RNA sequence: CGGGGCGUAGCUCAGUCUGGUUAGAGCGCCUGGUUUGGGACCAGGAGGCCGUAGGUUCGAAUCCUAUCGCCCCGACCA
């Protein structure tokens, strides 16, 4: 491909709206063009890379035995009512609109395809003989993101690979899940990405039922907890750590202190001259019990007040908390708080609440609080706090209506839960893939059943597996760029080799470049020839910007010395090569780079 | 949805506070010429309802009101 006949729109200046490196580079290289918030065109250069990611994904999915199909973007909303997800998705579910009663008002744009695939399974996968099966597609998804951001990292329209597996046993699901997990490792390894698979929040099934594939970058929106020894990795939504050791100070007498108007941890610690880790944060929640919810759907939801204690420098982890409580908790209203504490909001403490645990409220003590001594907390009296509060002495940590558990989010410096003493580090990351055991959530609500060999009917046991393709592309750029531009891995670079011909009026330069171009092209290498009549510096800058991994420079000067120059984008080293051998050499280098990535894939399962 | 910022040429911006010729610059684009190994130079040229709609005024990019859009932080994220 000649540059002059392709469509590349590089710019010297960085568009002001872009802050994330991947966004800036995709705009500057002309990979994408924004049409509206979170809505982008993929221009030819960007589309080439996207297609390469797509082909790797397709290749590995097929290799793992999955079967490709294609489902519609337009979904009847009725399907979403069947799984109760119209409410659950809220504004994320985009509707076509139109007058009431019109078909448009009954149609939504698909944000994901569990419903559609389950409708297909319901119709056709009626026998255990057809199971297991894994069906996937590569499709555009639409989501009403409240705040699209960082270019293509978070958009309202994006390309996704979504796969759904159907099984007749939990063991079969486990197997299918492992296959997908392995396929994902291979996919991201082949893309050359520095990914890490982490335990993720798993919803109703629990256990190890979900993993996210993350790329560590500051442009990410998630935090992952990684132990320094590499033995543990989890999303902070889920991450656990070793219990903190008991403090050993001598217990002092409880003492009330006047703290007029000091409500927040920051205010109180400043006022009392304490560090936040000496504070007990007392949070009051109202929860609706979910335990046994399946059976008691008709029963009135039972409301309960929960008092939750975490250390002042810690954050409550809502996922852990809801699990421990067996309820979905929401922060209580001021009226509830005032009734329980006898004070205004901001002065709650566990030591003198109105009522008894078990009967009037439940007390959930975070493990880190349970080992504190002489802590400070609210006085249950407006404008007062208490100091020298001791768990066990001043409030119960076990017993009727009281539970001590891990309900906080891990922090940097916590130690591995395994007890090997390795410290946990928190890193920002972007999620590019997610594998998930769904169980029978959708097959039950949509009545998608199969018959076992005894003729008995069961709901399909399902798994689902997603990769954000456009996001993967952006994540690769986040990981691989320098001050001059993109530095693409060979496997997903828009072109594999860039030939830069200088001196357009030198016949030998042009003929040499042409011959190299044809040779590489004939060998199946994706080669771009910058044949433009521009100055050398200009072309080199563009070359670095678009980040093609291998560059061959053909110019009058070097030809006079009987050589052309070979340079990797990732290295400053220049290799001088005989023009007759340069083609073969470049072909070999491309092959080696791809083989290296494939070799990584072969040992990628981790 | 809350907070902040910004809408002037394809891109980056000046001009807006303090209203006053025909609205500017650089990059990019077109013509011609000189250049030619790390984003050259000269000359000429095309390109704008100053986001949109009202209002104030003799006169609005500039002041007022409304509205739309975009970006960032937060909330949210099957």
Rounded Cα distance, A351 and A298, in Å: 37
* Tokens found for residue A212: 């996210």
Name beta bridge partners: A464. A164, A436
Confidence (pLDDT) at A116:
97
Query: Which nucleotide shows the minimum CA-to-C1' distance to residue A91?
Result: B76
Confidence (pLDDT) at A204:
54
CA atoms within 13 A on the CB side of A205: 19
Rounded Cα distance, A283 and A161, in Å: 41
Query: Which nucleotide shows the minimum CA-to-C1' distance to residue A27?
Result: B11
Using DSSP's 3-state secondary structure scheme, residue A250 falls into coil
Confidence (pLDDT) at A287:
83
E-strand stretches of A484-546: 485-486, 497-501, 527-530
Q: Which residues contact A325 (CB under 8 A, 6 or more apart)?
A: A285, A287, A306, A362, A364
Confidence (pLDDT) at A494:
98
CB atoms within 10 A of CB A109: 19
Q: What angle do CA A200, A201, A204 make, to 5 degrees?
A: 135
Query: Which nucleotide shows the minimum CA-to-C1' distance to residue A540?
Result: B38
Confidence (pLDDT) at A319:
87
Rounded Cα distance, A172 and A460, in Å: 11
pLDDT digits (tens, 9 = 90+) for A357-367: 988 899 999 99
Query: Which nucleotide shows the minimum CA-to-C1' distance to residue A574?
Result: B37
Instruction: Give the distance from CA A53 to its chain's centroid.
Output: 17
Confidence (pLDDT) at A294:
45
Of A278, A218, A275, nearest to A429 (Cα)?
A218
Rounded Cα distance, A13 and A83, in Å: 48
Confidence (pLDDT) at A322:
87
Q: Which residues contact A105 (CB under 8 A, 6 or more apart)?
A: A95, A96, A97, A98, A99
List of chain A residues with pLDDT < 50? 292-298
Strands A527-530 and A497-501: parallel
Name beta bridge partners: A540. none
Confidence (pLDDT) at A262:
87
Rounded Cα distance, A344 and A206, in Å: 38
Which nucleotides along chain B are within 7 A of a protein C-beta? 1-2, 10-13, 26-28, 35-40, 69-78
Round and report the angstrom distance from CA (A344) to C1' (B23): 60
Amino acid whose CA is nearest the C1' of B28: A11
* Tokens found for residue A510: 């042009």
Answer whether A138's CB lies under 8 Å from A57's CB.
yes
Of A407, A417, A409, A410, nearest to A232 (Cα)?
A417
Round and report the angstrom distance from CA (A374) to C1' (B75): 35
Round and report the angstrom distance from CA (A220) to C1' (B26): 35
Query: Which nucleotide shows the minimum CA-to-C1' distance to residue A90?
Result: B78
Q: What are the two backbone dihedrals, phi and then psi, of residue A20, each rounded to the nearest 5 degrees?
A: -70, 135
Round and report the angstrom distance from CA (A473) to C1' (B40): 35
Confidence (pLDDT) at A290:
59
* Tokens found for residue A384: 């007062």
Angle, helices A44-63 vs A170-190, to 10°: value is 140
Of A584, A585, A589, A554, nearest to A570 (Cα)?
A589
Using DSSP's 3-state secondary structure scheme, residue A357 falls into strand
Round and report the angstrom distance from CA (A393) to C1' (B66): 63
Round and report the angstrom distance from CA (A7) to C1' (B10): 15
């Amino acid at each position: 491909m000649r540059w002059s006949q392709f469509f590349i729109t590089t710019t010297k200046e960085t568009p002001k709206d872009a802050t994330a490196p991947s966004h800036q580079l995709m705009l500057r290289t002309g990979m994408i063009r924004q049409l509206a918030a979170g809505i982008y065109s993929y221009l030819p250069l960007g589309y080439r890379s996207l297609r390469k990611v797509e082909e790797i994904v397709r290749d590995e999915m097929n290799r793992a035995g999955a079967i490709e199909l294609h489902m519609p973007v337009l979904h009847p909303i009725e399907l979403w009512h069947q799984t109760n997800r119209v409410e659950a998705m809220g504004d994320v579910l985009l509707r076509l609109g139109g007058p009431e009663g019109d078909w448009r008002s009954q149609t939504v744009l698909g944000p994901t395809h569990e419903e559609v695939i389950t409708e297909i399974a319901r119709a056709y996968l009626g026998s255990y003989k057809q199971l297991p099966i894994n069906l996937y597609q590569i499709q555009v998804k639409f989501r009403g993101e409240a705040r699209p951001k960082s270019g293509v990292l978070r958009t309202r329209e994006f390309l996704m690979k979504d796969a759904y597996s159907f099984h007749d046993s939990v063991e079969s699901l486990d197997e299918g899940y492992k296959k997908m997990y392995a396929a994902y490792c291979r996919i991201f390894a082949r893309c050359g990405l520095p990914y890490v698979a982490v335990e993720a929040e798993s919803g109703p099934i629990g256990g190890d039922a979900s993993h996210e594939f993350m790329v560590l970058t500051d442009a990410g929106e998630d935090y992952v907890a990684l132990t320094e020894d590499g033995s543990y990795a989890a999303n902070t939504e889920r991450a656990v750590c070793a219990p903190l050791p008991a403090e050993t100070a001598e217990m002092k007498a409880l003492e009330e202190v006047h703290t007029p108007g000091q409500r927040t941890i920051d205010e109180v610690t400043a006022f009392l001259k304490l560090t936040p880790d000496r504070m007990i944060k007392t949070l009051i929640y109202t929860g609706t019990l979910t335990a046994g919810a399946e059976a008691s759907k008709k029963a009135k939801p039972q409301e309960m007040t929960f008092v939750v204690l975490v250390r002042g420098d810690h954050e409550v982890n809502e996922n852990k908390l809801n699990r421990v409580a067996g309820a979905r908790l929401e922060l209580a209203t001021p009226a509830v708080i005032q009734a329980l504490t006898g004070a205004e909001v901001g002065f709650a403490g566990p030591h003198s609440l109105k009522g008894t645990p078990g009967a009037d409220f439940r007390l959930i003590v975070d493990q880190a609080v349970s080992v504190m001594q002489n802590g400070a907390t609210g006085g249950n009296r407006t404008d007062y706090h208490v100091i020298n509060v001791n768990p066990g002495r001043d409030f119960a940590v076990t017993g009727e209506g009281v539970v001590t558990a891990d309900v906080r989010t891990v922090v940097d410096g916590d130690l591995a839960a395994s007890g090997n003493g390795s410290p946990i580090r928190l890193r920002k990351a972007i999620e590019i893939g997610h594998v998930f055991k769904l169980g029978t959530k959708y097959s039950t609500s949509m009545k998608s059943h199969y018959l076992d060999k005894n003729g008995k009917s069961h709901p399909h046991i399902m798994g689902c597996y997603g990769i954000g393709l456009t996001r993967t592309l952006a994540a690769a750029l986040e990981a691989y760029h320098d001050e001059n531009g993109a530095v693409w891995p060979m496997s997903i670079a828009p072109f594999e080799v860039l030939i830069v011909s200088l001196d357009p009026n030198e016949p030998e330069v042009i003929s040499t470049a042409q011959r190299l171009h044809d040779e590489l092209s004939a060998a199946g290498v994706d080669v771009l020839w910058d044949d433009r009549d521009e100055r050398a510096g200009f072309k080199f800058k563009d070359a670095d910007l678009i980040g093609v991994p291998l560059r061959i420079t053909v110019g009058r000067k070097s030809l006079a010395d009987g050589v052309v120059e070979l340079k990797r984008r990732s290295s400053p080293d220049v290799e001088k090569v005989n023009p007759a051998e340069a083609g073969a050499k470049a072909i070999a280098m491309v092959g080696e780079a791809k083989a290296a990535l494939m070799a990584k894939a072969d040992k990628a399962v981790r």
